[in-house]
Amino acid sequence: MNATAEKFGYPDSLIKEYQHWLVLARPQQVTLGSLVLVCKEPVTRFSDVSRAAFTALREAIAAIEATLSGLYKYQKINYLMLMMVDPDVHYHVIPRYDCARSFSGQQVLDHGWPAAPALGEFVEFDAEARAQLIAALQAAWR
């Protein structure tokens, strides 16, 4: 697997694997349900993603939105393709909330609402809560 997926905890953080994409729980929860969508192809430029992977992206995004909407009722969702530090093609998926969400006894705020996500503000769950988050997302996956 590519270095970007491994940096974001693959395989332990895996929510769903598709033929061309991985959906991972983001270790730093900028907002509740923050994910990383990583292309499995060995590409570092978006324009180099295969036609098949582009087509498959629709299925992954539809499942992300259905799952996060069903579980956490986000108001908006942001897909950030930054690729400055981690060069493999990937998106940071940040569901956006106008008020706090709670998970495993911790409150998670959207510090950037209603503007751009505040990526420097996040919750990092302990191992038990992280495993619970991953399990909840896997169980609810649509």
State pLDDT tens for residues 84-95.
999 999 999 999
| Average pLDDT of the chain to the nearest whole number | 97
| Structural domain containing residue 11 | 3-140
Beta bridge partners of 138: none
CA distance 37 to 102: 23
Q: At 16, phi and psi to the nearest 5?
A: -155, 135
Residue 1, pLDDT above cutoff 90: no
pLDDT at 140: 98
Beta bridge partners of 38: 22, 90
Report the number of distinct structural domains present in the chain: 1
pLDDT at 136: 98
Going by pLDDT thresholds of 50, 70 and 90, the confidence category of residue 130 is very high
Give Cβ neighbours of residue 93 (< 8 Å, ≥ 6 apart). 26, 34, 35, 36, 37, 64, 68, 77, 78, 79
Task: For residue 104, give the CATH number of its domain.
Answer: 3.30.428.10
